[in-house]
Structure 1
Amino acid sequence: MIRKILFSLLLVISGFFVLTHFTEMQAVAGLLGRGDWRFLLMGVLIEGLWLLNVNQSYKALYRAVGIEESRKKLFLMATAAFFITTMAPAAGMTGLAVFIEQTGKEKGKPAPHGRVTVACILYLLADYFGLLAVIPLALYILWRRNQITASAIIASIILVVLAVGLATLLMLGARSSHKLSVVLGFIARFVNKISGLTLHRQAIHPDWAQNFSVDVNVGVSSLREQPQMLIQPMLLGLNNKALMMFVLLSVFLAFNISFTIPLLIAAYALGYLFSVVSPTPSGIGIVEGVMTVALRSLGMPLENAATVTLAYRGFTFWLPLVVGGWSFRRLQKAEKQA
């Protein structure tokens, strides 16, 4: 009964999301209709390769923490998680819930929550460190052109803090679940104090810190003997960034807009950076503005900058969102048939 209520609520939220972003969706669809279909098709194919690369990343990480899951199921979970996180953002917890709930369900043996949690955290780390490999170059390009901004520097610092914070939590959890519990308990009490003053309720359950710490410790334990299994996911994280830049390249070619390699790198890095640190899910409303301003500051006419940004978001946000909605529906149908 509760599952049906939540599913109905998600449908309502999805409908509201479509209504509130319908104008943007129309603009993206109309814009793509004016591009060169050959390069647009190339962009779609590269985006498909990106989705497969993400799928392989999760496959490698699941193996690293001792979980066997089919690539088909991982694809459905990864894309559905993107959809649900966009529709109902909660610091990424809604996406994590998809992996925890669905992993191992077909075999009737749900995987330990700790291992699934660690695999998802490691995916984020691989993604962050892949982006951190590109950000310094992008900032250097902006600095050389006297276009570096305080917002770009602050966003980069936030990304570093997030990456270091996640890595620290994993290392602390690997050494001692008790120490991690103490740190997370302090964070939870601070958050609850703030939410108590503003929302008049606790945002985090009191037992969360201890339970999560034990889960992390269990999940990381399987990596201690084979740390080399993390090499492939990290390389795949870098490959993700390369594929996204090729998607952006296909957009420039589709609309016959001149570009330089430095401009391509800077625009991609800033767009993806703000999609990560943005207060809105997947950077909705933020990335569009940041990329347009970045391209304009690098010498591109405003109309061309807006064209590239909207078309690029069509490939990297709206297309995965549609695929994610389809994947979520497939998972729901599979549950009903089980």
Structure 2
Amino acid sequence: MARSNEQPGRGKARGWQRWIFPVLLVGALLVAVLHFGDLKKFAELLSKAHPAWLAVALVLQFATYFFLSAQWWLALKHGGSPLPMNELLPLTITKLFADQVVPTAGVSGNVVLVDRLCAKKIPRENAVAATILAIIAYYISYAVSAVATITILWWRDKLSLLLVGLAALLLAVAAAIPAGALWLSDRGTKALPLWLRERESVRQVVKLVGEAPNDLVRDPRLIARLVLLNLGVFIADVATLVVCLLAVGEGVHLGSAFVAFAMASIVVTLGPVPLGLGSFEATAIGMLRLMGIGFEAALAATLLYRGFALWLPLVLGMFLTRGQLKRTSRG
């Protein structure tokens, strides 16, 4: 029998669709108001930085959106329900927007993305599989980056017990989350203790994960290709930080930028806060200082990078979410 798009629970989905986009918009506006000083500082830095390097940084950030969209394109293509890149790019930006506004370690963005993919007639099981695969690729790529970071720090004689501990914790999380997702997709609610099985929200999440086709989420060649794309995102972000250092008059510091970005991302991943505000900047500046870069240059380059990596998708996401809210209201 043909599978209907009007699946059980779809009516409930339409209900939460009506409030999730307004909540995201309100959250974004609140963040913008509370951190208006950061925006003013970013604008001031832009006026003083070298414009050619700023243009390169902008291109590199759009490259991260392309790599992320390519992950979804590849996963959906393997599931037999491809979407063109021009449709996936806005969805990717909306996901980044949701992840930044609602600090749930990526859960909020994935919920929005699955909903938008289903709205585009992608089978729900394929949308869920693409999400699981993206999560697996994300944590594997960050595990690789953590190992590379520790290696660079050891080579430069900058390694400390605290940094090793943070990297080890990230490696543990990077192993546990993908393994947990695959375990739940295979065993379902039977894998959970009784007190968790009795919670409706938990049962719904496990049911959602269980919809993903096993052969798709366990395809090693597909996962390897997705990891490479995620590493492309990581490298483009590191390159953006390098370019921001160049824009404020520093030289090329590839190793320093890699270490600073990786450790700052690890801290934000392990302790999600709205937009990573404060924790990312403090860690990145501290690591750049550790690697021998002056405080003023480290501060200016980090704030420039955050302006591109954080405020750009926030502004773009607000416009896209506002448009989606209008379409939902008309529907």
User: Is this a same-fold pair by TM over 0.5?
Assistant: yes
2:75 aligned residue (61, 86, 98): 61
Tell me if 1:328 matches 2:331. no
Report the AA paired with residue 131 of structure 2: C
Q: Secondary structure at the match of 1:45?
A: helix
| Structure 1 residue 44, shift from structure 2 partner | 0.4
Q: Secondary structure at the match of 1:299?
A: coil
2:281 aligned residue (280, 285, 288): 288
| Structure 1 residue 184, shift from structure 2 partner | 4.0
Task: Tell me the matched-pair count.
Answer: 317
In structure 2, distance between residues paired with 1:234 and 1:44: 23
User: Does the 8 A contact of 1:35 with 1:255 survive in 2?
Assistant: yes
Structure 1 residues 237 and 33, CA, compared in 2 at 3 Å: closer, same or farther? Answer: same
Tell me if 1:134 matches 2:145. yes
Tell me if 1:230 matches 2:223. yes
- 2:176 equivalent in structure 1: 165
1:315 aligned residue (308, 311, 326): 308
In structure 1, distance between residues paired with 2:217 and 2:144: 25
How high is the TM-score relative to the length of structure 1? 0.83
Structure 1 residues 260 and 99, CA, compared in 2 at 3 Å: closer, same or farther? Answer: closer
| Structure 1 residue 87, shift from structure 2 partner | 2.0
Structure 1 residues 130 and 111, CA, compared in 2 at 3 Å: closer, same or farther? Answer: same
1:166-205 to structure 2, matched below 5 A, reads 166-177=177-188, 181-185=189-193, 188=196
1:122 aligned residue (122, 125, 133): 133
In structure 2, distance between residues paired with 1:34 and 1:187: 58
| Structure 1 residue 57, shift from structure 2 partner | 1.0
In structure 2, distance between residues paired with 1:240 and 1:155: 21
Query: Per-residue displacement from partner, 1:45-78 (whole Å, max 9, x unpaired)?
Result: 1111111111111111222344333423322222
1:31 aligned residue (45, 52, 58): 45
User: Does the 8 A contact of 1:76 with 1:331 survive in 2?
Assistant: no
In structure 2, distance between residues paired with 1:162 and 1:243: 23
In structure 2, distance between residues paired with 1:265 and 1:122: 25
Query: Per-residue displacement from partner, 1:223-246 (whole Å, max 9, x unpaired)?
Result: 179553333212211211221122
Tell me if 1:74 matches 2:88. yes
User: Does the 8 A contact of 1:65 with 1:219 survive in 2?
Assistant: no
User: Does the 8 A contact of 2:105 with 2:272 survive in 1?
Assistant: no
1:260 aligned residue (253, 257, 270): 253
Structure 1 residues 260 and 216, CA, compared in 2 at 3 Å: closer, same or farther? Answer: same
| Structure 1 residue 165, shift from structure 2 partner | 1.5
Q: Secondary structure at the match of 2:224?
A: helix
| Structure 1 residue 169, shift from structure 2 partner | 2.0
Tell me if 1:206 matches 2:199. yes
Query: Per-residue displacement from partner, 1:265-285 (whole Å, max 9, x unpaired)?
Result: 212221222232233134211
| Structure 1 residue 105, shift from structure 2 partner | 1.5
1:111 aligned residue (97, 102, 123): 123
In structure 2, distance between residues paired with 1:110 and 1:145: 48
Q: Secondary structure at the match of 2:216?
A: coil
Report the AA paired with residue 300 of structure 1: I
Structure 1 residues 7 and 245, CA, compared in 2 at 3 Å: closer, same or farther? Answer: closer
Query: Per-residue displacement from partner, 1:145-200 (whole Å, max 9, x unpaired)?
Result: 443344433332232222212221233235432xxx244446948xxxxxxxxxxx
User: Does the 8 A contact of 1:245 with 1:265 survive in 2?
Assistant: yes
Report the AA paired with residue 166 of structure 2: A
User: Does the 8 A contact of 1:292 with 1:302 survive in 2?
Assistant: yes
Report the AA paired with residue 28 of structure 1: F
Structure 1 residues 149 and 332, CA, compared in 2 at 3 Å: closer, same or farther? Answer: farther
In structure 2, distance between residues paired with 1:163 and 1:300: 30
Structure 1 residues 237 and 4, CA, compared in 2 at 3 Å: closer, same or farther? Answer: closer
Report the AA paired with residue 74 of structure 1: L
User: Does the 8 A contact of 1:170 with 1:220 survive in 2?
Assistant: no
In structure 2, distance between residues paired with 1:66 and 1:173: 23
Moved more, 305-314 or 260-269: 260-269
Query: Per-residue displacement from partner, 1:65-120 (whole Å, max 9, x unpaired)?
Result: 443334233222221122123223344332122122211324xx4632x4423322
Moved more, 123-132 or 63-72: 63-72
User: Which residues of structure 1 form unaligned runs of 5+?
Assistant: 190-204
RMSD: 2.7
Structure 1 residues 172 and 5, CA, compared in 2 at 3 Å: closer, same or farther? Answer: closer
1:155 aligned residue (163, 166, 178): 166
Tell me if 1:248 matches 2:241. yes
User: Which residues of structure 2 form unaligned runs of 5+?
Assistant: 1-14
User: Does the 8 A contact of 2:133 with 2:217 survive in 1?
Assistant: no
Q: Secondary structure at the match of 1:148?
A: coil
